[in-house]
A and B are shown apart, each in its own frame.
Chain A
Amino acid sequence: MMAAPGAGDLGGNQNSPPLVLLEGVTKSFPGVVANDRVTLDVRPGEVHALLGENGAGKTTLMNILYGLYRPDAGEIYVKGRKVVIRSPRDAIACGIGMVHQHFKLVYPHTVAENVALGLQGTPFFGPARVVERGLRELGERYNLPVDPKARVWQLSAGEQQRVEILKALYRGADVLILDEPTSVLTPQETGELFKVLARMKEEGHAVVFITHKLDEVMEAADRVTVMRRGKVIDTLPVAETDKASLARMMVGRDVVFRISKAECTPGKEALVLRDLRAVNDRGLPALRGISLTVCRGEIVGIAGVAGNGQRELVEVICGLRRAQGGEVVVLGRPLTNRSPRTVADAGVAHIPEERLRMGIVPGMTVEENLILKKHHRPPFSSGPLLRLAEVRRFAEQAIEEYEIITPSPKTPAKLLSGGNIQKLILARELSGEPGLVVAAHPTYGLDVGATELIRQLLLRQRDAGAGVLLVSEDLEEIVSLADRIAVMFRGEIMGIVEASAAELGEIGLMMAGTRSGMGDPR
């Protein structure tokens, strides 16, 4: 076992004992060991990055520290005292706070009500009012301004994150755990968050910061612990390492970020959007006049911070949301506000954002899931009847071709791993030579192997002459896959750049709402 606490002994406050020490923590779920004898120490006054790929066990480890999971084995020490953390209540009492990746907020309630929830020592009547006062003070001290009376659903993602941090600080957290805090932020907001973290460090707090982004480790952390497949690979001061070696530790081999791809040869228009307008679920404008063209044989990437209309854009194209104005033309056919089935039948493949909720029917078998959307057409049905032999034949072929790992075609899809579920969806969507592929976050949450395979599949579609619209929050993915990049902000396209000439700084500015001069809606 590596990573004995104190190895290297640098960073943070060197003389004080660890604020939190996890020793030999093991946790298994059916089929996986999420944490395997993990040891980790966190010291006062440090920002400690927990680096690893998706599925490396970072979040599980922190959920154990926060009392959401019980470890199978191992011990936890807080300020040198051995503690047993059975629930978040215990964790809070130990001075531990956590900001989850998917915020744990009660959206219809006010900011103050959210902070007051479960808070000890507030008056029985009108607790929100007392909290409002405290929130203003805290907000000033840490530079975290939020209106305590605002309803949470009305706030931006960055503001919601502030509420989460305030919630922890209000409870007197000494250790603050942040799970992938930057995934919902613009580069500028990320910078502000890092300033807040620095401020907290000064006040003597410790911050544990879960991430898979190397740049952020280098920028914001004092020490870093790298995890892979449930094990700690090493803990070391950030000053003594570099991106390449961290990447090697994280993935277990050398990583090539660049994907080799053939020259792009755009053909006829696969998708034309003209002045597209739509509202979101709350009835507020989400698309404010989107115009964009995707040609056959090219990949157009949509970059942007989550919640700037990407989801609505995909839904309108695929017939899942009504356009209030404008036009959608697919492969030369006007398809504005047509049914999802009409759009699919016209040759549009849709790799949905929420693959478990939308992309598959979890309780149905792999073979049944493979014909979803296509079940009403030959060869899978004739008249009112399904043709089960054809379904089986197609399933066997798809399982082989896309390397879907499943015990049998009759296995319920929910039993497959995330990567295999995504392969199933791609196998289904990419069969039958679609003219347009709309892919929303196709590699989100997948391991390196599955990610690479799925990127290759999208490139192969491009080379075979399909137009691909790729929506992703992973800028690196967009830059490496796309031929052109469009940046969305508040329902508008801020600019379109050629990927070969793209500068991250410029894209970052557009993600934050600066309009590019060289907008080229082609």
Chain B
Amino acid sequence: MGWEEWLISTIARALAYGTPLLWGTLGEVYAERSGVVNLGVEGMMAIGAFSAFAVAQSTGNPGLGILVAAVAGGGAALIHAFLTVTLRANQYVSGLALTMFGLGLSGLLGRGWEGVPLKHPLPAITVPYLADIPILGPMLFQNQSIITYLGLVLAVVLWVLLYRTRWGITLRSVGESPATADALGVNVYLVRYLAVILGGVLAGVAGGYLSVEYRPSWTEGMTGGMGWIVIALTIFVAWDPVQAIGGAVLFGALYHLSYRLQPWVAPELLKLMPYAAAIIVLAFVGLGGAQRRRGAPGALGVPYARGEK
């Protein structure tokens, strides 16, 4: 295999492995843009992965599985929204609780479904015409999941929504300065609820992709820390949906290479690569200067209560 082929196939696989990272990151970007950190991505992905698999296996319809995963992820995020927005609980602790709960619940309920291959996984799709473009075609448009393509489109759509529309102004303002938005009649709580729930929906799809498309099977703890990588990616991509594509592909490549390089390096050491890389990447971001200037929402992590406290 020549190096070009190697590179093309690596990027193609990186895109496949990066897909759940992309969906998860897009969701977290929106949640954090509204001012709410959700550390429960890992838990929501686990819930999504399990519910997608269970539904796809019992109905034979993987698309329905993904849909249910989205609903389940959104439902899990609703708990976080209620705790952090309405009850103004600590966002970090609530997210950690959500992760524990999600991992635990999916492990508990998924016991009987372990290790069985999915009968009808989502089919891979090759995009007509686009797939014939030299280099780019095989890199991006051959034998990828519909969820991968949708993720790319979604990233662009979410970018336009964020920067070019009325909703985007509202969302960004709520994350920057909720008191300002409130004083102009914006329902801060509603915006935050919606953003957090959207985050959960996308995380649920990310999990569902793992169990009905990528693997396709269910094992307890199959998210394996991807949800945490998503949190790091959100900072790394400067809360920007389009940049999230690049970040997701980069880390997808790291996951993929941890299999690809196994003939040469111990697999366990390869597997720690993405996690170590996440720290290194954030250290470089820190070297580059203040987070605030990179677009960190001004009110990130701060519960909002109107004057009366």
Contact = CB atoms under 8 A, between A and B. Distances in A.
Nearest to B308: A69
Contact of B173 (A88, A117, A122, A123): A117
Interface in B157-201: 164-167, 169-170, 172-173, 176-177, 179-186
Interface residues on B, range: 20 to 34
B307 A63 contact: yes
Contacts of B166: 116, 119, 122-124, 127
B183 A100 contact: yes
Contacts of B169: 109, 113, 116-117, 127-128
Contacts of B173: 106, 109, 113, 117
Contacts of A29: 308
Given A89-B185, A117-B186, A167-B184, A105 B177 contact: yes
A456 interface: no
B183 A126 contact: no
Given A117-B169, A117-B170, A118-B185, A107 B176 contact: yes
A100 B184 CA distance: 12
Interface string A44-77: 0000000000000000000100101100000000
Interface in A474-499: none
B104 interface: no
B110 interface: no
B183, B306, B308: most-surrounded residue (chain A CB, <10 A): B183
B303 interface: no
A87 B182 CA distance: 8
Given A106-B172, A128-B169, A118 B186 contact: yes
B298 interface: yes
A290 to B, nearest CB: 25
Interface string B70-87: 000000000000000000
Contacts of B172: 106, 109
B183 A68 contact: yes
B170 A118 contact: yes
Contacts of A128: 169
Contacts of B167: 124
Interface string A158-193: 000000000100000000000000000000000000
Contact of A117 (B164, B181, B298): B181
A98 interface: yes
A125 interface: yes
Contacts of A119: 166, 184
Contacts of B179: 104
B183 A88 contact: yes
A118 B181 contact: yes
Given A106-B172, A127-B165, A127-B169, A88 B185 contact: yes
Contacts of A87: 182, 185
A344 B22 CA distance: 50
A98 B176 contact: no
A68 B307 contact: yes
B202 to A, nearest CB: 22
A250 interface: no
Nearest to A128: B169
A108 interface: yes
A117 B184 contact: yes
A19 interface: no
Contacts of A105: 177, 180
Indicate the member of B177, B186, B307 with the most A CB atoms within 10 Å. Answer: B177
Interface in A99-115: 100, 104-109, 113-114
B228 to A, nearest CB: 28
Given A117-B169, A117-B181, 6 more contacts: A69-B306, A106-B176, A106-B181, A116-B169, A118-B184, A125-B165
- Pairs of residues from A and B, 7 with the lowest C-beta to C-beta distance, nearest first: A89-B185, A118-B184, A104-B180, A118-B186, A104-B183, A127-B166, A106-B173
7 contacts: A63-B307, A98-B183, A113-B173, A117-B169, A117-B184, A124-B167, A125-B164
